[in-house]
């Protein structure tokens, strides 16, 4: 018999309910709703560590859920008579969550039951956006990304997605109107409100919106779709893991080449990047190196891209676009990459003998300090 959507939702709610019931029953001592949520979400709190709860099978198993979402689920299970909150002396008069006999029976059975919390968890507050509002939304997203670049922080630190949607729907035009929005604080008003308001004020619903800006970075981003960033994020999963170190040991000038990180073409300056853990090497464009670093930061990780002393000028130009992109550390580059993968790197260098070298790799004797790296437009590469 074909399952209906209602059947599937009931099965989903039953599975989540059993996970929570199993998590509470597996503990050697009772805990409250807040600590139960910390366990299920994989918190690194002092309580979790001191009681070794990170070793429990349920630790982090419902990490995609938010705190309030899990609280909603637990309260639903309490209303259904499977759990309840009690006050016990041995818990220092703090409320704890206990599983009731009905909860034990449900956990041991194969019963599928609808609890109703799935509908409560569903976010249906987002209205449909017309083409004009979608254009405004995309422009605000690009502006947020640009502001994040300048502050060297992930985009979500500037503001959340929910605020962007609210701005598109309500279209504030003054600071006072914007202050009333949820998620808007003093720092946002000081650093971000003016450029966002400028975009909203200039928005013309009658035509596709293109926000003119003096920022070369924003102009470059405007030429790349979300598909570009999706390609970078997908490639990151193939070539990099948290803790990996990348090193650039060569730059050659080869016009009309394609970046092996994102498929962007053409690129002019080809940076040879090698992963210190795997030995894998990619040829990447200048600007794409910056975006590689940004995409990793957006995932919540740090990435070191090492450069030798002779390429310090190139590293400085990259850092001028995005602070902290390149690290000049020849000793670490040799220890973690060049010595470890010497054979593979020598083979790649031999294959690239026909490349036209960039100025830093010109005939021996050239003073690296005299190289005019400003002659190379890194932002457009």
Q: Tens of pLDDT along 92-129?
A: 446 788 899 999 999 999 999 998 888 767 765 556 67
Rounded to 5°, angle at Cα 211 from 210 and 215:
130
Residue scoring higher pLDDT (289 or 356): 289
- Which of 148, 157, 161, 165 is CA-nearest to residue 185? 157
pLDDT classification of 30: cutoffs 50, 70, 90: confident
pLDDT of 303 > 50? The answer is yes
Q: Which of 193-202, 246-255, 352-361 has the highest mean pLDDT?
A: 193-202
Q: Name residue 253's beta-bridge partners.
A: 269, 356
CB-CB contact of 33 with 74 (8 Å): yes
For domain 5-121, the question of CATH label 1.10.10.10 is answered with yes
What is the rounded distance in angstroms from the CA atom of residue 197 to the CA atom of residue 7?
46
Top pLDDT among 295 and 18 is at 18
Pairing status of strand 327-328 against strand 304-307: parallel
**Which one is the CATH code of 131-222: 1.10.275.10, 1.10.357.10, 1.10.10.10, 1.10.150.80?**
1.10.150.80
CA gap 107, 21 in Å, rounded: 7
Query: Of 75, 11, 13, 65, which Cα lies nearest the Cα of 40?
Result: 65
Q: Is the pTM of this model over 0.85?
A: no
Q: How far apart are CA 323 and CA 316, in angstroms?
A: 9
Residue with the two structure tokens 């010497």: 342
Cα–Cα distances in Å, from 188 out to 158, 169, 182, 259, 330? 7, 19, 11, 36, 39
pLDDT reported for residue 217: 43
- Paired with 246 in beta bridges are 275, 305
Would you state the pLDDT for residue 222? 41
Look over the chain and give the mean of its residue pLDDT values, rounded to a whole number. 79
Give start-end residues of each CATH 1.10.150.80 domain in the chain. 131-222
Residues 31-41 as b or e (16 or more Cβ within 10 Å = b) = bebbbbbbbbb
Outline which parts of the chain fall under CATH 1.10.10.10: 5-121
Cα–Cα separations (whole angstroms), residue 223 to 80, 210, 266, 273, 283: 53, 11, 13, 25, 21
Determine the Cα–Cα distance for residues 196 and 45; give it in Å rounded to an integer. Answer: 36
- Taking only the tens place, the pLDDT of each residue in 160-210 is 878 888 898 889 989 989 988 887 888 888 888 999 999 998 886 665 444
């Amino acid at each position: 018999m074909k399952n209906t959507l209602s059947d599937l939702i009931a099965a989903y709610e039953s599975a989540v309910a059993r996970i929570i019931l199993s998590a509470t029953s597996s503990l050697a001592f009772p805990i409250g709703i807040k600590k139960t949520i910390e366990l299920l979400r994989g918190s690194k709190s002092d309580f979790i560590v001191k009681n070794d709860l990170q070793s429990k099978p349920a630790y982090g198993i419902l990490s995609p859920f938010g705190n309030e979402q899990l609280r909603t689920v637990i309260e639903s299970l309490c209303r259904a008579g499977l759990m309840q909150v009690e006050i016990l002396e041995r818990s220092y008069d703090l409320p704890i969550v206990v599983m009731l006999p009905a909860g034990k029976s449900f956990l041991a059975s194969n019963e599928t039951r609808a609890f109703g919390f799935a509908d409560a968890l569903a976010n249906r507050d987002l209205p449909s956006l017309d083409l004009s509002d979608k254009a405004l939304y995309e422009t605000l997203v690009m502006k947020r990304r640009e502001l994040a670049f300048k502050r060297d922080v992930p985009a979500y630190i500037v503001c959340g997605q929910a605020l962007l949607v609210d701005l598109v729907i309500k279209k504030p035009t003054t600071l006072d109107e914007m202050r009333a929005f949820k998620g808007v604080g003093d720092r946002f008003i000081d650093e971000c409100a003016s450029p966002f308001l400028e975009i909203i004020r200039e928005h013309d619903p009658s035509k596709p919106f293109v926000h003119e800006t003096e920022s070369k970075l924003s102009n470059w981003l405007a030429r790349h779709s979300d598909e570009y960033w999706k390609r970078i994020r997908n490639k990151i999963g193939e070539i990099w893991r948290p803790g990996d170190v990348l090193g650039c040991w060569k730059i050659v000038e080869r016009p009309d080449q394609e970046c092996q990180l994102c498929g962007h073409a053409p690129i002019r300056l080809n940076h040879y990047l090698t992963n210190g853990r795997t030995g894998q090497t990619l040829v990447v464009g200048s600007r794409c190196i910056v975006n590689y670093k940004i995409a990793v930061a957006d995932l919540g990780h740090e990435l070191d891209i090492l450069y030798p002393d002779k390429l310090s000028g190139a590293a400085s130009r990259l850092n001028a676009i995005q602070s902290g992109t390149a690290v000049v550390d020849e000793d670490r580059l040799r220890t973690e990459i060049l010595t470890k993968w010497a054979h593979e790197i020598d083979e790649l260098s031999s294959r690239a003998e026909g490349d036209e070298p960039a100025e830093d790799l010109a005939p021996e004797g050239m003073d690296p300090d005299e190289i005019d790296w400003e002659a190379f437009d890194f932002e457009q590469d």
